[in-house]
Structure 1
Amino acid sequence: MKNEEVTKFLNGINHPLRNEIERLRDLIVSAESQLTENIKWNGPNYCFRSEDRITMRIQPPKQIQIVFHRGAKKLAQSNGRLISETSGLLVWKENDRAVATFKNLNGIELQETEFKNTISKWIAATKE
């Protein structure tokens, strides 16, 4: 479920990609019902069982990046990528950190199904 504090934060910054942010928020919370939403690093952040897992990078305001991670603490690297993803949606930074980038609503809509599947796979792989 969307968090009202996140909505208030976003209302206060007047972001030019607000429609894209809202669509991504909807997709993230609908993909995994146990995610909780808060603000971290000046953007929407999503936790599973109080552990950070997905963070929305909204600055600079040219695009929206969704960072898939295992939290703020450095953990031992896995031998391979945490999830299998062949759509090209993710750019891998490390085996346990990847980024999806969206520039407009059309780009979000084109990747909507894969994005939601990626969220579900990510949460399943990082439940620990």
Structure 2
Amino acid sequence: MNAQNILLNRDTTHFLDAAAHPLRQEIEHLRKLVLDAAAGLTESVKWNAPNYSIGSLDCITMKIFPPKNIQLVFHRGAVKKMQPAERLIQDDSGLLDWKANDRAVATFNNSAAISKNEEALKNIITQWVAACIANQ
């Protein structure tokens, strides 16, 4: 990871401090990974979790409650849009559980699973952000 490119949001950090989440280490790993993977992402708290947007377009949100695992939800914002005919990106890693052609979830139970899939996840994030921008 390139630490100089990572801009963790202070309000998100305070939110997570107050949450006292048992998987905080995993959350922090994913925060840094998401921000490092795609230039221009902004971190905030939305839907009671860390959220990542490009401009005003929300595209990735963590699901941290209930605290049994951490999920990265890949989406195109809260407003329903016309479904693309095909999946927004190609995922050869098998990490994504597709809910619709423009919505998928990656689930992690521990830091080892995140570390093992870090390169594939960075690729997914980079592709996802680019696809979201192209398909607004």
Normalising by structure 2, report the TM-score.
0.93
Report the Cα distance in structure 2 between the residues aligned to 1:126 and 1:7, rounded to whole angstroms: 26
Letter in 1 for 2:51: N
| Deviation at residue 59 of structure 1 after TM alignment | 0.3
Alignment partner, residue 119 of structure 1: 125
Letter in 2 for 1:94: A
Alignment partner, residue 47 of structure 1: 53
Alignment partner, residue 94 of structure 1: 100
Aligned CA RMSD, in angstroms, stands at: 0.6
| Deviation at residue 33 of structure 1 after TM alignment | 2.1
Alignment partner, residue 81 of structure 2: 75
Letter in 2 for 1:115: L
| Deviation at residue 92 of structure 1 after TM alignment | 0.1
Instruction: Map 1:3-82 to 2 at 5 A.
Output: 3-82=9-88
Query: Once superposed, which parts of structure 1, at least 4 consecutive aligned residues long, lie more than 3 Å away?
Result: none
Unpaired runs of 5+ residues, structure 2, are 1-6
- Give percent identity, aligned residues only: 54
Letter in 2 for 1:64: I
Report the Cα distance in structure 2 between the residues aligned to 1:3 and 1:50, rounded to whole angstroms: 16
Report the Cα distance in structure 1 between the residues aligned to 2:29 and 2:70, rounded to whole angstroms: 11
Normalising by structure 1, report the TM-score.
0.98
Matched positions, count: 128
Report the Cα distance in structure 2 between the residues aligned to 1:84 and 1:99, rounded to whole angstroms: 14
Report the Cα distance in structure 2 between the residues aligned to 1:81 and 1:97, rounded to whole angstroms: 8
Unpaired runs of 5+ residues, structure 1, are none
Letter in 2 for 1:88: G
SS of corresponding position for 1:78? coil
Report the Cα distance in structure 1 between the residues aligned to 2:28 and 2:111, rounded to whole angstroms: 10
Report the Cα distance in structure 1 between the residues aligned to 2:16 and 2:10, rounded to whole angstroms: 10
